[in-house]
A and B are shown apart, each in its own frame.
Chain A
Amino acid sequence: MPLVKGGKIVEDSFVKLDVDAPLPAAGDILVPGDRFLKDADALLARPGKVGVIWPNNRDIDALVPYLGKLAAVALVFPTFRDGRAYSQSRLLRERHDYRGELRATGQVLRDQFVFMLRAGFDSFEVKKQADAEAFTQTVKRYSVFYQPTGDGRITALHRRMQLRHSEGVGT
């Protein structure tokens, strides 16, 4: 499954570990939330980056104390119809000021890219190769946004106010 990060298809430096898979001595790991919480200090002490795979049916509150030490949080879209992780990602970015990698996993298709970017995701495990390759094109689909989110894109309402203002200055 291709990983898109920074707008490009890249190698994934993280290895995903199951609940009971042996811990590699070094290297970047992505571990399920439960396993991480049970053993957070030890996991964070080993060499290599640590990321957490957080399910979409659990409050992110339990993860919040560790956010500063995590290199990645992977949120889950079990199907693309299930939009809970959009709320989780906005909360992580906008309320808890999480600045590490925020990865969308699961059924990630190109038609969600713009929504995901706006909600704060910056890396994407894309289901289909063709969708991953179309990333740059796809995210240019929209230039107008009605809602303010943490991604900082200027909203239609504010753009209008700016236009009004600049017109006002001119007359």
Chain B
Amino acid sequence: MYAYDEIDRTLVNERVSEFRDQVKRRLSGELTEDEFKILRLQNGVYLQLHAYMFRVAIPYGTLSSEQLRRLAHIARRYDRGYGHFTTRQNIQFNWIKLAELPDALADLAEVGIHAMQTSGNNMRNVTSDQWAGVAPGEIEDPRIWSELLRQHTTLHPEFSFLPRKFKIAITASDHDRAAIKIHDIGLRLVKNEKGETGFEVLVGGGLGRTPFIAKTIKHFVHGRDILSYVEAILRVYNQYGRRDNIYKARIKILVHELGIEKFSREVEEEWQHIRNSSLQIDDGVIEDIRSRFSYPAYEKLPHMPDELRQAAADSDFEAWRKNSVFPHKVQGYSIVTISLKPTGGPPGDATAEQMDALADLAEKYSFGEIRVGHEQNLALPHVAKRDLPALWKALDKLGLATPNVNLITDIIACPGLDYCSLANARSIPIAQELTRRFANHELANLIGRLHINISGCINACGHHHVGHIGILGVEKNGEEVYQITIGGRADENAALGSLIGPGVKFDEVADVIEDVVEAYLALRERPEELFIDTVKRLGVEPFKERVYATR
């Protein structure tokens, strides 16, 4: 956990006061809606179909029990008793009242949470691996650097009015759980031959109307230079990124139009001017940030405790353990993913009661720490293996032990037409129907790892391009039509999916997905060949033939 000091607290409180003043001026008419819009967006406040939506940042996906309880409080006090975890380590509340927002922000500020820059054309919440600091084989904890960047990007005087939004993600593991290749800047922590910490820097990834996988702009930027390098990228983007067309304003378009070579030359030139400036970070600064992250005092525990051995007889427990429990870097401990994808539920939602109960469980079993991942699930990062059976029982009672992590019902979906004013089609009901179709755990297990991503419009908040199966809702002649892609992925081998055929109607989507899955089961070489690997081996054609043969 990162502990705010007086300096961080002061800034967040100053931001709350500023926003209180802005809301007051809006309510009195001193600010026009056009003027206020940008200001509220910079505090995570959108106007949705039915109400204001409030998006709160969970930087690099780390929460304390106290913070999670406060999110539950927000859900209960200012909203309708639940919150929605997003694909970028944020939580959204959908029914907030404008006049109450300053109070909600003040309540959050008391526990070191803010909503700064969770929307708007500025640098968004810095995201990272939800297993940061506990994943086996990790180079080092990427949250130290994420926090450095969080601070540097907060209320930046030069880059708060960019051509378009700007997202940074950081990973320090070989397996990329932070989806860095679909970010404006992706940072992969690496060591050079001298053993010094630095970053491979990727740029220009993003989804939306024109999806791109990020390209490597520099193979090694030393840790001490990372702020100046990021600043150089942003300065080039701020000046030359397109502002004439909102759909061409992301940095991916600038990188694409200039070409990565020319773009990187521009950045390099800018960087040479500023790399030896006060942006250079000395080790003391990094150590200071590191010192405010607390790490659990792990016990020396056996690899296979008796409690786990005994519980193995319970097949429901075993199904959950095999699915949701992952190796920890410390012997005797596990990382537990908590599925927010119950059968028939909207992906990523949690009730205030669940959040409170989970905060208690984290205190009891995970050193008071909870993580949020981009798959819209939560995790308890430090669970002693001996506690797994007790934890499972408690989670099961809360409806939080669905053993479907990474399976076909672990669906990522945007809020879609049920909430969002940009959407053309519904997402949540499609996800709900699919979780019912594949509710049988044996069937889902037989299918194996398969990520479905659903977006209700071309803006791609559900990351449909990078779903193993992607579902994109569009509007055609006043009707919701869904385009299906296969073969996308968001990890270190990130790729964009390919269309398998013409769009289908709302009530045909689940049938088509069943057909795709049947095709896969028939086509795979052996049970271990994952869906994504079969698609890679065979391409789209055999799927297309089978799915559309009878349509």
**Closest beta carbon of chain B to A133's beta carbon, Å:** 12
The answer for the CA separation of A3 and B14 in the assembled complex, in Å, is 26
Q: Would A87 and B278 count as touching, CB distance under 8 A?
A: no
Task: Report if A81 contacts B (CB, 8 A).
Answer: yes
Interface string of B1-45 (1 = CB under 8 A from A): 000010110110010011000100000001000010011000000
Cα distance, A92 to B235, chains bound together (Å): 14
Q: Which of B274-294 contact A (CB under 8 A)?
A: 277-279, 281, 284-285, 288
Q: Check if B161 sits within 8 Å of A147, measured CB to CB.
A: no
- The answer to whether B152 has its CB under 8 Å from any CB of chain A is yes
Shortest beta-carbon distance from A90 to chain B in Å: 6
B237 to A, closest residue via Cβ: A87
Q: Is B256 an interface residue (CB 8 A)?
A: no
B157 lies within 8 A of A160 (CB): no
B22 touches A142 (CB 8 A): no
From B157, B238, B273, contact of A118 by CB (8 A): B157
Interface size on B (CB < 8 Å)?
A: 37
Contact partners of A87 in chain B: CB under 8 A = 158, 235, 238-239
Closest-CB distance, A98 to chain B (whole angstroms): 15
A69: CB under 8 A from chain B? no
Whether a CB of chain B sits under 8 angstroms from the CB of A73 is no
**Is B460 interfacial (CB 8 A cutoff)?**
no
Q: Tell me, rounded to whole Å, the shortest Cβ–Cβ distance linking A111 to chain B.
A: 6
Find out whether the CB atom of A143 lies under 8 angstroms from the CB atom of B39. Answer: no
- The contact string, 1 if C-beta is below 8 Å from chain B, for chain A 128-171, is 00100000000001111111110000011101110010000000
A86 vs B161: C-alpha distance when bound (angstroms): 9
Contact A164 B161 (CB under 8 A): no
Smallest CB gap from B291: residue in A:
A164
A149 near B5: Cβ-Cβ < 8 Å = no
Q: Tell me if B121 is interfacial: C-beta within 8 Å of chain A.
A: yes
Interface on chain B toward A: helix, strand, loop, or mixed SS? Answer: helix
Task: Give the chain A neighbours of B14 by CB distance below 8 A.
Answer: 141-144
Task: Report the Cα distance A164→B288, complex, angstroms.
Answer: 9
- Residue of B11, B157, B273, B285 contacting most chain A CB atoms (<10 Å): B157
> Given the complex of chains A and B, what is the CA–CA distance between A44 and B97 in angstroms?
57
Question: In the assembled complex, which residues on chain A have CB atoms less than 8 Å from the CB atom of B121?
Answer: 81
Q: Report B-chain residues with C-beta under 8 Å of the C-beta of A84.
A: 238-239, 243
Residue in B17, B157, B284 whose beta carbon sits within 8 Å of that of A119 in the complex: B157
| Residue B540 is within 8 A (CB to CB) of chain A in the complex | no
Is there an interface contact between A115 and B11, defined as CB atoms closer than 8 Å? no
- B324 at the A interface (CB under 8 A): no
Contact in complex: B158, A161 (CB < 8 Å): no
Shortest B240–chain A CB gap in Å is 9
CB distance from B55 to the nearest CB of A (A): 19
A146 — which chain B residues lie within 8 A by C-beta? 11, 151-152, 154-156
**Residues 187-240 of B contacting A (Cβ, < 8 Å):** 235, 238-239
User: A141 near B235 (CB under 8 angstroms)?
Assistant: no
Bound state CA distance, A86 and B288, in angstroms?
A: 30
Q: Is B146 engaged at the interface, CB distance under 8 Å to the other chain?
A: no
Closest residue on chain B to residue A165 by CB atoms: B284
Q: Does A27 contact B (CB under 8 A)?
A: no
Q: List 27 A-B contacts (CB under 8 A).
A: A80-B35, A81-B121, A81-B161, A82-B243, A83-B160, A83-B162, A84-B243, A86-B160, A86-B161, A87-B239, A90-B158, A111-B18, A111-B22, A114-B157, A115-B155, A115-B160, A118-B157, A119-B157, A130-B30, A141-B18, A147-B158, A148-B278, A155-B278, A157-B281, A157-B285, A160-B5, A164-B284
Interface residues of B, Cβ cutoff 8 Å to A: 5, 7-8, 10-11, 14, 17-18, 22, 30, 35, 38-39, 121, 151-152, 154-162, 235, 238-239, 243, 273, 277-279, 281, 284-285, 288
If A115-B158, A144-B11 are given as contacts, then 20 extra A-B residue pairs at C-beta distance below 8 Å, sorted by A number, are: A80-B161, A81-B38, A83-B158, A84-B239, A111-B39, A115-B160, A119-B157, A130-B30, A141-B17, A143-B10, A147-B152, A147-B156, A148-B278, A149-B158, A156-B11, A157-B281, A160-B5, A160-B288, A161-B284, A164-B284
